[in-house]
Amino acid sequence: GGLFAWLRGRCLGRGAAVDPARDTFGAMTGLYGAIQPADSVSLSTRTHGAVFNLEYSPDGSVLTVACEQTEVLLFDPISSKHIKTLSEAHEDCVNNIRFLDNRLFATCSDDTTIALWDLRKLNTKVCTLHGHTSWVKNIEYDTNTRLLVTSGFDGNVIIWDTNRCTEDGCPHKKFFHTRFLMRMRLTPDCSKMLISTSSGYLLILHDLDLNKSLEVGSYPILRARRTTSSSDITSSGSSGPRAVGSPCHQNNSGPLSEKTSSRPSQREGGSPRNSLEVLTPEVPGERDRGNCITSLQLHPKGWATLLRCSSNTDDQEWTCVYEFQEGAPVRPVSPRCSLRLTHCIEEANVGRGYIKELCFSPDGRMISSPHGFGIRLLGFDAHCSELVDCLPREASPLREIRSLYSHNDVVLTTKFSPTHCQIASGCLSGRVSLYQPKF
């Protein structure tokens, strides 16, 4: 048993001998300790409005900015120079940007479309994708299959086959549907899909198969930790996905029976493809009230998920880290729960109604989180240790490593550069700030 545990640890990169780059990560963490506001790009809000999302290209050579008023901005993050403005990238707010590689990227918008762009030819779109019926908020990409995955406020997760992309678009199919969908993410190895909802639920599709058609049958339901309220998990039919209700928003169908949701064969033989787990993550201070999971991110090594939660009354906000716990329940009668709360911290309750997008550093040692008119750099401990090296037995507070303030309005989004010791942030009044070490 010890040998197999050691081998599994090697596969996960959890052994000191397996990850010789840890010293390099430690040096980078030291650089972040000297980080200061380096430069700011102040742009007129008359044209582009609030900054909703920031995204670096994989090689760190381009910083893209998703703006409230139909525009996408491109910058050289090293020189802070403006490269290009896509003035009519969409017909409504631009919500998210995702790079497929160093030259291709996708944008999504409240105009219900997704657009594909090529950095070598920015005067026109590669193509426009139509399929959602409401605001599109999230884009993910599976580099192995070259499938683009999008989600929107219509509750749909749609798969787009970029292998067969033409000027008229890409073949697509509806992969999943749930009510109150907020954010959708894929784990780095694309083995899981996580979906957060405005009703406080977190959905996890295990052993993910994006090529599996909905016509194959219903998603198998794994036993999940349930709240003490009367919320129900219901099926939308034998040929469709499951839907999720909440204490405030009940589905019309009856509750799923306990017999259906706890099939022994699924637990004993391992989870089937696309098996669904529904959780109500523990949030400090919110045990007696509902909450909305507004932002969802994943650890770059797939060890944990990062959530930004707000209470239904919008009077509290929390940043929480949950460790993934693999395997079947310890006892057959115990609920399956893949996530365990390890760290949390209360956030500044400002900018109500706006979603604050936070992120992990490229090495996963730190978190950059919007905090009022600035950002906070948070660590799992005071030394910015890796999560697996400082896992607490009980939930512990995240440590504030540094606070950086250079905005005059509420910060909505922040992002680490994937290649340089640099952080970018964008605020409600449209300002983009860059931070890097100063000695």
- The per-residue pLDDT for range 15-49, each reduced to its tens digit, is 444 454 555 555 666 666 666 665 555 554 456 88
Tens of pLDDT along 189-199?
999 999 999 88
Task: Give the count of alpha carbons within 13 A of 30, CB side only.
Answer: 7
pLDDT value of position 236: 31
Using DSSP, how many helices (H) and how many strands (E) does the chain show? 4, 31
> Residue 433 in contact with residue 422, Cβ under 8 Å?
no
Q: Which helix (H) or strand (E) holds 105?
A: strand 104-109
43-177 and 284-438 in the same fold: yes
Q: Which fold has domain 43-177?
A: Methylamine Dehydrogenase; Chain H (2.130.10)
Average pLDDT over residues 286-302: 80
CATH code of the domain made up of 284-438:
2.130.10.10
Tens of pLDDT along 137-163?
999 999 889 999 999 999 999 999 998
Average pLDDT over residues 428-437: 88
pLDDT value of position 216: 38
pLDDT value of position 102: 92
Question: Which is more confident, 256 or 349?
Answer: 349
φ and ψ of 7, to 5 deg: -65, -40
pLDDT value of position 28: 60
pLDDT value of position 114: 96
Residue 383: pLDDT band by 50, 70, 90 thresholds? confident
Place of tokens 């339901």: 221
Q: Which of 114-118, 240-244, 259-263, 315-319 has the highest mean pLDDT?
A: 114-118
Nearest CA among 316, 289, 306 for reference residue 342: 306
Mean pLDDT (the chain, rounded): 78
Question: What token pair was written down for 152?
Answer: 């929107």
pLDDT value of position 32: 67
Measured between alpha carbons, how far apart are the two ends of the chain, in Å?
Answer: 50
- Structural domain boundaries in the chain: 43-177, 284-438
pLDDT value of position 287: 55
pLDDT value of position 213: 60
The identity of residue 106, as a single letter, is A
The answer on pLDDT for 242 being more than 60 is no
Walk across the sheet containing 374-379 and list its strands. 359-360, 366-371, 374-379, 399-405
* Whole-structure pTM value: 0.80
Lowest mean pLDDT among 59-63, 233-237, 333-337: 233-237
Residue 234: pLDDT band by 50, 70, 90 thresholds? very low
Average pLDDT over residues 51-73: 94
Tens of pLDDT along 101-145?
999 999 999 999 999 999 999 999 999 999 999 999 999 999 889
pLDDT value of position 306: 96
Around Cβ 259, how many Cβ atoms within 10 Å?
7
What is the C-alpha separation between 190 and 207, in angstroms, rounded? 9
